[in-house]
């Protein structure tokens, strides 16, 4: 421990986007002027984006939180006269969370492997290193962990398929193509606690007998790419990755592959094609990627959050994880609260919290102060939920029962100025731009969808039935969720906000 002043300031993109680097420069200048020995730790984000840049100053063994901090606040910050939130753990938004996947995020320097170990890191991998593949897969199955990318498929079943498949060449592929609007948990964990993902992938490798892993990381996340690459190098040098993982006598190594701006590559089969160097066109299933995946070999494809949750399951045990949650939605979900909200950020909690509680109590309603009109849950392919559905518990089956989906758990809040017809049109337009082109209902249907919505906007009421019909065709006739789920936002907007689809007509009459 140095005698100087220890200050934590996030290197997370959201913090940087709100001026964290400028605050860092101001801190360095002011510390030099005052002759203070500054120990500045660039940590991950604690997830309270409305308080970013959130600065923590270590005083008497406590980390006192200040934010949002502007460069001009730095003198007062060092004087100790700036308004303080207490510790991060005192802030209600943080205090009511159950942090498992994100336990370390924001606590430590993301590239400090010793700090990672000191906070429970590598305990899970060390335990897994002493287990057989079948035991590892069994542990994941018992935890009830489901795919966090959106589909919610049980991770243990997928892993077991790969374990049973013929080797020797198998792969672990991490889907870090987090393209859904309103989601940023993958980015935050990769920027804030990358070793968790590395550890999770290594456990998966030991479990199914794969020796090579790839993180398919979108090009829109340059900061995450930089941190992940650095973390992989450090892990390799420390023997966490390589020919002899933690001395267990088994090999696992991995690398980052950068995407190229195609949303559809977040779909697992299109992602595999992209990794192989092909157009990111969707593949028909079967064969399942677990049997014929990357380069035709058995492959585990899991989302960042799924793999990053594996270490804590091995650290605390499957039963601990399975003890949380609601029904078949076991454990916790890092929910991302975004859009027009007073308190946006990452909120990890056990499954089951009602949507309205998240929107009103946790997030504090809209940032604009106007009434909430709609909440889109699950990204651009998720349904718009009206306030009448706010008692829906946040869990897979419960949302499904209400005609929605939790997807990657992004929650985007809109106030009463939102134009639902425009948002429905955007959903179709987005689908048209991003369609891989394989399925006609998606490739052409999305274009026709934009045209049909334009007709409705011009007052052609007869086009409404046509739109519903088109959506049915897209749902039934598309291989993947892009064409298949675009009808969710469109139809939910039409069903719950019919006035927005009739306004032009009335005006014309």
Partner 1 sequence: MAPHLDREGPLLPILHAVQANLGCVPESAVPVIAKRLNLTAAEVHGVVSFYHDFRKAPAGRHVVKICRAEACQSVGATALTERALERLGIGWGGTTPDGGVTVEPVYCLGLCACGPAAMVDGRVVGRLDEAKLDAILEEARA
Least gap, CB of 362 to partner 1 (angstroms): 12
Count of residues for the chain? 509
Residues that bind partner 1 (CB under 8 A): 13-14, 16-18, 49-50, 52, 178-184, 186-188, 219-223, 257-263, 274-281, 295, 336-341, 344-345, 367, 376, 380, 410, 412-415, 418, 422-423, 426, 430, 433-434, 436
Residue 216 makes CB contacts below 8 A (sequence gap 6+) with 173, 174, 175, 176, 177, 257, 259, 265, 271, 274, 275
Give 338 or 353: the residue with its C-beta nearer to partner 1.
Answer: 338
Give 50 or 399: the residue with its C-beta nearer to partner 1.
Answer: 50
Least gap, CB of 262 to partner 1 (angstroms): 5
The whole-angstrom separation of Cα 449 and Cα 491 is 11
Give 149 or 380: the residue with its C-beta nearer to partner 1.
Answer: 380
Give 125 or 338: the residue with its C-beta nearer to partner 1.
Answer: 338
Least gap, CB of 241 to partner 1 (angstroms): 17
Least gap, CB of 120 to partner 1 (angstroms): 26
E strands in 142-211: 171-176
Least gap, CB of 32 to partner 1 (angstroms): 25
Give 18 or 165: the residue with its C-beta nearer to partner 1.
Answer: 18
Give the angle subtended at the CA of 332 by the CAs of 66 and 267, to the nearest 5°. Answer: 100
E strands in 103-147: none
Please spell the DSSP secondary structure of 207-219, one letter per residue.
HHT--EEEEEE-T
Least gap, CB of 19 to partner 1 (angstroms): 9
Give 17 or 151: the residue with its C-beta nearer to partner 1.
Answer: 17
The whole-angstrom separation of Cα 173 and Cα 429 is 30
DSSP 358: I
Give 117 or 443: the residue with its C-beta nearer to partner 1.
Answer: 443
Residue where the block lists tokens 């337009």: 429
Least gap, CB of 313 to partner 1 (angstroms): 25
CB 375 within 8 A of CB 397: no
Judged by DSSP in three states, 409 sits in coil
Within a 13 Å sphere around the CA of 42, how many CA atoms are in the beta-carbon half?
A: 17
Nearest Cα to Cα of residue 369 among 336, 417, 411? 417
């Amino acid at each position: 421990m140095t005698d100087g002043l220890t200050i934590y300031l996030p290197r997370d993109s959201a913090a940087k986007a709100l001026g964290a680097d400028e605050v860092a420069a101001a801190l360095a200048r002011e510390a030099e002027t005052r002759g203070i020995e500054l120990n500045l730790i660039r940590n991950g984000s604690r997830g309270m984006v409305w308080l970013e840049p959130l600065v923590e100053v270590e005083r008497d063994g406590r980390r006192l939180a200040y934010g949002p901090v502007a460069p001009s606040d730095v003198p007062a910050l060092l004087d100790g006269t700036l308004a303080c939130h207490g510790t991060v753990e005192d802030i209600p938004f943080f205090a009511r969370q159950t942090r498992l996947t994100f336990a370390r995020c924001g606590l430590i320097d993301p590239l400090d492997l010793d700090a990672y170990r000191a906070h429970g890191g590598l305990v899970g991998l060390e335990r897994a290193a002493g287990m057989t593949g079948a035991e590892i897969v069994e542990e994941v199955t018992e935890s009830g962990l489901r795919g966090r990318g959106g589909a919610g498929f049980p991770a243990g079943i997928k892993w077991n398929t790969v374990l049973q498949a013929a080797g020797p060449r198998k792969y672990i592929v991490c889907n870090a193509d987090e393209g859904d609007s309103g989601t940023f948990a993958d980015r935050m964990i990769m920027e804030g606690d990358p070793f968790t993902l590395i550890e999770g992938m290594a456990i998966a490798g030991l479990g199914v007998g794969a020796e090579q892993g790839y993180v398919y990381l979108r090009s829109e996340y340059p900061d995450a790419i930089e941190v992940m690459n650095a973390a992989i190098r450090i892990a390799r040098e420390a023997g966490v990755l390589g020919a002899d993982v933690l001395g267990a006598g088994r090999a696992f190594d991995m690398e980052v592959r950068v995407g190229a701006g195609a949303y559809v590559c977040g779909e697992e089969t299109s992602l595999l094609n992209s990794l192989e160097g092909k157009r990111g066109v969707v593949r028909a299933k079967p064969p399942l990627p677990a049997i014929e995946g990357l380069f035709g070999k058995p492959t585990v494809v899991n989302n960042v959050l799924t793999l990053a949750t594996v270490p804590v399951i091995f650290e605390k045990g499957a039963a601990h994880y399975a003890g949380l949650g609601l029904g078949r939605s076991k454990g916790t979900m890092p929910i991302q609260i975004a859009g027009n909200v007073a308190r946006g950020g990452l909120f990890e909690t056990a499954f089951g919290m009602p949507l309205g509680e998240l929107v009103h109590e946790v997030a504090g309603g809209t940032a604009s102060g106007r009434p909430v009109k709609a909440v889109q849950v699950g990204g651009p392919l998720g349904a718009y939920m009206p306030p009448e559905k706010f008692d829906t518990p946040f869990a897979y089956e419960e949302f499904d029962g209400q005609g929605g989906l939790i997807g990657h758990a992004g929650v985007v809040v809109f106030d009463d100025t939102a134009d639902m017809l425009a948002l429905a049109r955007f959903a179709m337009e987005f689908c048209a731009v991003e369609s891989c082109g394989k399925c006609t209902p998606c490739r052409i249907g999305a274009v026709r969808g934009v045209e049909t919505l334009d007709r409705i906007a011009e007052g052609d009421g007869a086009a409404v039935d046509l739109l519903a019909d088109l959506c049915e065709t897209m749902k039934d006739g598309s291989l993947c969720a892009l064409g298949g789920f675009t009808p969710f936002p469109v139809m939910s907007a039409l069903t719950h906000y019919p006035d927005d689809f009739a306004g032009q007509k009335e005006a014309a009459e």
